[in-house]
């Protein structure tokens, strides 16, 4: 198929040829007319004028066809450009595409797209083009700011065919310095809002831009403004989505890092958010929770807090609830739930936000500590964490060790059953334990009818630990005598206890494994205290010289505790004999 442009071009050339031929015929007729006049004849009236008119009409037709072809080409470019700029939502691609098509559309030497900065309200060049890449860089951004500002303010296009002679602009520095001639500037308008301008100029040709270029460029600018606005809006949306996504990721990370369970329930009882801690607490994976009904997925929880959820939604107040559900996945739980109204941007309550703290292990720990407090002084329980730092191993420390045999098994009547013996023994052990606790002692262990107690450990530090141990032993001895005399229906009234106390350095710490361990003391100090207890007679309290020396400041001010030195005790494993003393309650002697 023959190209339409070629056909038009050939037609224009044919018209020009006919026009030239008509002109040539007219010239020949003029020559013939002069010869005919000499012979007294003449051509028909108006023949030459008709030929000249035909020539003028043919030239006019050729020019008109040429202009129409140019306009058609521009309209095609406009149509293609409109399709192009509306096919992309990338701001840079749209702006550069618009600028390239503008230069092509109007044949300008240079072109600029300027948009109004939404913050400063100033016109800023966002895209520029120039046909001559060798032109000075300094002149690249020089343009007629007066024309640009006029168009940006009025919203009306401006065209000047020769700026050097145009009274409106010929005094401008940019027009003088750059010798600007043809200038066209049209506004970019979107919904009555002027976004910016499209500016083109030419320093060489006069009359390059006319009504047709103004009309075409204005039509193009209307479409370009829509494309630019759409691209900028899309960019803003993308940026907003990016920010929202970043915020969402941050929130998800925050929720995931929170030790407490966090979930939100909407007005239809549907779970809308659910963090990792909630999975751990409830044993319900997030895939089974999100977008599912709360009362269906976690009915045991819902049953215990549905009344409070209703109050939170209706009164828009915060509430705290304790729940003790039994879940299939985890068994009995003790939960603390904080319920808050979940509100939208208009501050309207849409659901309930729930923060869940699993108190199960803490409750178990409290119960364990409560049991421990029955065996240890309350103040000592508060120091338990300090021994955790010792891990497996220990540290050297000066302590006082007390051993007591509350009543030997041989002293119980043979007629007593093992159960009765155990019950009676527990009574004696309770009396001794209470005396130890009363004076801040730490019961290290029970060994049948024996009790080992420590004073001045990391759990019960004391500057007068020897005196504390002595007072505990004195109280214990008095209480055990009273029990033997008045409280033991199976006894014979005789005191069968034996007590030994020694002070010195020992190694204190944790022994056992990583899963099971106990806190204890080992060393010669412990061994000697045990030997003193084993060598004591029934009803006798023996202390070492080291313990007695530590108690001298208090003994010097006490008149109810006496002591007497016994024969040195030769103990296995020690080179020197141990100097020992029997402690006497002088108040009992006087009584």
Residue 388 confidence (pLDDT) above 60: no
User: Does 175 have pLDDT greater than 70?
Assistant: no
Kindly tell me if the per-residue pLDDT of 105 is higher than 60. yes
Question: Residue 450 above 50 pLDDT?
Answer: yes
Confidence of residue 535 (pLDDT cuts 50, 70, 90): very high
Beta-bridge mates of residue 265? 271, 352
Domain 107-229 matches domain 385-590 at the CATH topology level: no
| pLDDT, position 1 | 41
Q: How far apart are CA 402 and CA 360, in angstroms?
A: 38
pLDDT tens string 293-307: 999 999 998 999 999
CATH no. of 385-590: 3.30.70.1230
In angstroms, the CA 61 to CA 581 distance is 143
Whether the per-residue pLDDT at 138 is higher than 50: the answer is no
Q: Is 297 exposed, middle or buried (0-12, 13-18, 19+ CB in 10 A)?
A: middle
Fold observed for domain 107-229: Beta-Lactamase (3.30.450)
Per residue in 192-242, pLDDT tens?
Answer: 888 889 888 877 777 677 787 788 778 777 777 887 788 778 888 888 777
CA angle at 224 for the pair 220 and 225, rounded to the nearest 5°: 120
Give the pLDDT confidence score for residue 210 in this predicted structure: 75
DSSP per residue, 438-487:
HTT-EEEEEETTEEEEEESSSSS--TTHHHHHHHHHHHHHHHHHHIIIII
Instruction: Compute the radius of gyration of the chain from its Cα atoms.
Output: 55
**Percent of the chain with pLDDT strictly greater than 90:** 26
Mean model confidence pLDDT for the chain: 79
Weakest mean pLDDT among 2-11, 134-143, 181-190: 134-143
Confidence of residue 439 (pLDDT cuts 50, 70, 90): very high
pLDDT score of 68 more than 60:
no
Give me the pLDDT at residue 137, please: 47
Architecture of domain 258-362: 2-Layer Sandwich (3.30)
Query: Is 290 strand, coil or helix?
Result: coil
Q: Domain residues of the chain, as ranges?
A: 4-78, 107-229, 258-362, 385-590
Concatenate the DSSP letters of all residues of 258-270 into one string.
-SSEEEEEETTSB
Query: What is the pTM (predicted TM-score) of this model?
Result: 0.41
Say if CB 141 and CB 128 are below 8 A apart: yes
Q: In the structure encoding, which two tokens stand for residue 148, read together?
A: 């640009």
Contacts of 79 (CB under 8 A, 6+ apart): none
Instruction: Say yes or no to pLDDT of 428 above 60.
Output: yes
- Cβ-proximal residues to 109 (8 Å cutoff; 6+ apart), any chain: 130, 131, 132, 200, 201, 202, 203, 204
């Amino acid at each position: 198929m023959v190209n339409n442009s070629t056909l038009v071009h050939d037609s224009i050339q044919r018209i020009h040829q006919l026009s030239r031929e008509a002109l040539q015929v007219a010239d020949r007729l003029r020559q013939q007319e002069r010869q005919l006049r000499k012979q007294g004849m003449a051509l028909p009236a108006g023949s030459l004028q008709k030929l000249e008119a035909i020539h003028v009409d043919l030239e006019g037709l050729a020019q008109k066809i040429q202009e129409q072809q140019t306009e058609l080409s521009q309209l095609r470019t406009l149509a293609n450009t409109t399709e192009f700029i509306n096919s992309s939502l990338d701001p840079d691609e749209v702006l550069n595409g618009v600028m390239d098509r503008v230069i092509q559309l109007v044949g300008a030497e240079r072109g600029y797209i300027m948009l109004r900065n939404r913050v400063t309200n100033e016109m800023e060049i966002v895209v520029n083009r120039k046909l001559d890449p060798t032109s000075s860089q300094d002149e690249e951004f020089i343009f007629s700011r007066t024309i640009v500002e006029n168009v940006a303010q009025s919203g009306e296009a401006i065209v000047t065919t020769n700026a050097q002679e145009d009274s409106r602009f010929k005094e401008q520095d940019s027009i003088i310095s750059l010798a600007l001639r043809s200038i066209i500037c049209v506004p970019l308008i979107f919904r009555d809002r002027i976004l910016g301008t499209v500016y083109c100029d030419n320093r060489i040709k006069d009359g390059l831009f006319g009504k047709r270029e103004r009309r075409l460029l204005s039509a193009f600018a209307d479409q370009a403004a829509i494309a630019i606005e759409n691209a900028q809006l899309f960019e803003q949306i993308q940026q907003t989505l990016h920010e929202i996504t970043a915020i969402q990721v941050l929130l998800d990370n925050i929720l995931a890092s929170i030790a407490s369970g966090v979930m939100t329930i909407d007005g239809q009882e549907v779970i809308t958010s659910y963090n990792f801690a909630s999975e751990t607490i409830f044993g319900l994976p997030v895939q089974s929770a999100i977008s599912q009904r709360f009362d269906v997925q976690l009915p045991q929880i819902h049953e215990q807090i549905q009344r409070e959820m209703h109050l939170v939604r209706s009164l828009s107040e915060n509430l705290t609830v304790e729940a003790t559900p039994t879940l299939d996945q985890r068994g009995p739980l003790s939960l603390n739930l904080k319920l808050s109204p979940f509100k939208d941007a208009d501050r309207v309550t849409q659901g309930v936000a729930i923060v869940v703290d699993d108190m199960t292990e803490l409750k178990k720990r409290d119960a364990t500590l409560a049991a421990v407090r029955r065996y240890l002084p309350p103040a000592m329980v508060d120091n338990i964490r300090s021994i955790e730092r010792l891990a497996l191993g220990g540290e050297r420390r000066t302590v006082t060790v007390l051993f007591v045999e509350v009543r030997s098994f041989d002293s119980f009547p043979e007629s007593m059953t093992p159960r009765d013996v155990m019950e009676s023994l527990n009574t004696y052990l309770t009396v001794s334990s209470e005396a130890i606790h009363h004076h801040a002692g730490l019961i290290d262990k029970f060994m049948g009818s024996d009790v080992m107690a420590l004073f001045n450990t990391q759990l019960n530090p004391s500057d007068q630990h020897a005196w504390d141990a002595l007072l505990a032993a004195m109280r214990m001895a008095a209480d055990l005598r009273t029990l033997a005399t008045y409280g033991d229906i199976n006894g014979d009234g005789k005191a069968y206890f034996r007590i030994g106390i020694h002070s010195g350095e020992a190694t204190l710490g944790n022994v056992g494994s990583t899963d099971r361990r106990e806190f204890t003391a080992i060393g010669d100090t412990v061994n000697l205290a045990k030997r003193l207890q084993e060598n004591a007679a029934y009803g006798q309290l023996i202390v070492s010289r080291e313990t007695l020396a530590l108690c001298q400041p208090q003994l010097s001010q006490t008149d109810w505790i006496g002591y007497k030195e016994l024969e040195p005790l030769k103990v296995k494993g020690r080179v020197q004999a141990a100097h020992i003393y029997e402690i006497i309650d002088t108040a009992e002697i006087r009584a």
